């Protein structure tokens, strides 16, 4: 029996699997020069004049290795050549190439973060070609901030936000809501549902301070409970993010009390999670409706290292609880790179287990289909399709 007896079919199956990317963003529609491209490659900022280029990082190396060939460049093409070729092809063509190459057939798009003009979900799906479809994820902080911007009395804030959220999720194609509570207050919050009086008092304070960036702990908590009322899956940013984050406050274990209080209600999707993916896995193992992914981390560490991160995430995670997301934002390279990292990383893990006879090939193939596609279809009820046979 050759060493690749098991790994081969698993790798092929994962390479061919139509993926569901259950959390991503649109891509910028503007043309990007090298500085513009670099600013989108990092969770930090581009630091002009610092001598540190975002290309000189694991994700930069991964882009030059895995994305350059999609633009007809040799592997490891220099950053300047890469940026030049990108400009030459134009954003539309670049986006089409990467989104098609990703093999993603369903995109769940968080539309609540757009400091730059981005593709709509429909545009993203169209750029991916074929039968690709897109669904929308509504960011709850954005709903509340829009309510504040339109003007609202503190005493009506709770009801108006709840109604605005209900309206938002009634829009066609909406499959989930999202909260960035991790950024705004962190997860070490009072788990209880705030009373109407508390919400009014907090709204008075926040609106009085201008009501722009929702960072009041009572109102953030109110949004988490609003999500419970809406009944849709709730995506929660966890762990890895940009300089706006206090990483240790985004450890999802801090949410335990809230998860206990809300057990049996909505699915809770822990996004990213790194470096707290083991903590997230523990929550997914002990709470029925908790799920996780290691999106964002996978393309930042790159396909070569994705296996190690996925292996940690999968140590105790029930196979029905891990999903694929890219969390790509801005550049379609990341929709592609996230998919490559997921496919290759998972194939390496499962293939090695099959080769060592620690896992049957049938089980490996099932785990691949579940995590890459069916778990998301099941949680979000995508297309109304039943689960595939397993």
CA gap 334, 81 in Å, rounded: 19
Cβ burial of 209 (10 Å; 0-12, 13-18, 19+) is exposed
Out of 39, 42, 185, 235, the residue judged to bind its own copies by CB under 8 A: 42
Residue 271's H or E segment, with its range, is strand 268-272
Supply 271's token pair: 């996004």
Task: Report the residue number, 84 or 311, with the smaller CB distance to its own copies.
Answer: 311
Integer distance in angstroms from the first to the last C-alpha of the chain? 26
Q: Is 243 in the site for its own copies (CB under 8 A)?
A: yes
Q: Where are the beta strands (DSSP E) in 120-255?
A: 133-139, 174-179, 234-238
Out of 87, 114, 204, 304, the residue judged to bind its own copies by CB under 8 A: 304
Q: Is 278 in the site for its own copies (CB under 8 A)?
A: yes
Q: Is 4 in the site for its own copies (CB under 8 A)?
A: no
Q: Is 193 in the site for its own copies (CB under 8 A)?
A: no
CA gap 227, 334 in Å, rounded: 28
Task: Report the residue number, 137 or 353, with the smaller CB distance to its own copies.
Answer: 353
Out of 21, 38, 251, 293, the residue judged to bind its own copies by CB under 8 A: 251
Q: Which stretch binds its own copies (CB under 8 A): 31-39, 88-96, 294-302, 329-337?
A: 294-302
CA gap 50, 139 in Å, rounded: 34
Q: Is 61 in the site for its own copies (CB under 8 A)?
A: yes
3-state SS, residue 235: strand
Handedness of CA 122, 19, 28, 96 (dihedral sign): negative
Task: Report the residue number, 172 or 389, with the smaller CB distance to its own copies.
Answer: 389
Task: Please state the closest distance from residue 243 (CB atom) to its own copies, in A.
Answer: 4
Binding footprint of its own copies on the chain (CB under 8 A): 42-45, 47, 50-52, 54, 56-59, 61-62, 65, 75-76, 240, 242-243, 245-248, 251, 253-254, 256-257, 260, 274-275, 278-279, 282-283, 285-288, 297, 300-305, 308-309, 311-312, 314-321, 353, 356-360, 363, 378, 387
């Amino acid at each position: 029996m050759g060493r690749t007896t098991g790994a081969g079919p698993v790798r092929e199956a994962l390479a061919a699997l139509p993926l569901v990317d259950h959390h991503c963003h649109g891509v910028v529609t503007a043309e990007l020069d090298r500085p513009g491209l670099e600013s989108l490659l990092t969770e930090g900022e581009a630091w002009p004049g610092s001598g540190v280029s975002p290309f000189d990082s694991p994700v930069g190396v991964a882009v030059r290795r895995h994305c350059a060939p999609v633009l007809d460049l040799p592997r490891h093409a220099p950053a300047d050549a890469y940026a030049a070729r990108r400009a030459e092809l134009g954003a539309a063509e670049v986006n089409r190439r990467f989104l098609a190459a990703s093999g993603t057939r369903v995109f769940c798009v968080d539309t609540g973060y757009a400091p730059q003009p981005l593709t709509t979900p429909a545009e993203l799906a169209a750029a991916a070609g074929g039968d690709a479809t897109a669904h929308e994820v509504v960011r709850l902080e954005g709903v509340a901030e829009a309510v504040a911007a339109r003007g609202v009395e503190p005493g009506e804030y709770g009801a108006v936000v709840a109604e605005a959220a209900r309206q938002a999720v009634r829009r066609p194609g909406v499959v989930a809501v999202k909260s960035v509570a991790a950024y705004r207050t962190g997860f070490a919050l009072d788990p209880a549902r705030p009373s109407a009086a508390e919400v009014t008092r907090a709204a008075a304070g926040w609106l009085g301070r201008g009501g722009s960036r929702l960072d009041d702990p009572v109102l953030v908590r109110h949004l988490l409970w609003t999500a419970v009322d809406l009944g849709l899956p709730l995506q929660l940013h966890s762990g890895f993010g940009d300089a706006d984050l206090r990483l240790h406050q985004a450890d999802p274990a801090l949410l335990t009390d809230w998860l206990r209080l809300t057990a049996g209600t909505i699915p809770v999707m822990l996004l990213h999670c790194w470096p707290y993916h083991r903590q997230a896995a523990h929550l997914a193992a002990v709470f029925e409706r908790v799920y996780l992914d290691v999106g964002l981390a996978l393309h930042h560490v790159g396909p070569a290292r994705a296996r190690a991160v996925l292996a940690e995430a999968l140590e105790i995670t029930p196979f029905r609880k891990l999903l694929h997301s890219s969390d790509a934002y801005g550049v379609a390279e990341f929709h592609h790179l996230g998919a490559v990292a997921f496919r290759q990383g998972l194939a390496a893990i499962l293939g090695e287990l099959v080769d060592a006879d620690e896992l049957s090939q049938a089980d490996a193939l099932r785990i691949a289909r579940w995590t890459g596609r069916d778990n998301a279809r099941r949680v979000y009820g995508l297309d109304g399709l039943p689960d595939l046979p397993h």
